[in-house]
Amino acid sequence: MVERRRTVRAIARIEVFDKGARRERVPLYVSGNVSSGGIFLITQEPFAPGTNLKISFTLPGDDQPIESMGQVVWLRDERTAPERQPGMGVQFMAIAREDQERVREFVHSQIEKGNVEQDND
């Protein structure tokens, strides 16, 4: 079992594109939250932990897309957390330093607004 890190995550509804998919211009996921280390993708059909993804998304209030290689590190489903949205936690594995800084700045701006989560999943 992969231990999840305790980090502050901004609650955000962000369209996420799977750059490895045939229909990469159609958003395949909507995020539930984002941190400087990764993103939670809402889905009824998550990939298995260890699956690598190439994703692209644009932060609210920004117009430049962020691309990252990520890896599915944990899952949440209706059986384990019926009161929460199902999906998968994706850790950023390869992200440009300037893009990671933009994510960090976005999360910080959301902290000031109280629009964050801090629990373990």
Does residue 17 fall inside a structural domain? yes
Name the E strands within the chain: 9-11, 15-18, 29-35, 38-42, 52-57, 66-76, 87-95, 116-117
Distance CA 25, CA 81 (A): 31
On whether residue 4 sits in a domain, the answer given is no
SS3 call for 63: coil
Is 3 domain-assigned? no
What does the pLDDT profile of the chain (121 residues) look like in tens digits? 344 556 788 888 888 888 876 555 556 788 889 999 999 999 888 889 999 999 999 999 999 999 999 999 999 888 877 788 889 999 999 999 999 999 999 999 998 898 888 765 4
User: Looking at residue 76, which CATH number applies to its domain?
Assistant: 2.40.10.220
- 3-state DSSP assignment of residue 102: helix
Count of structural domains within the chain = 1
Token digits of residue 61: 């209030």
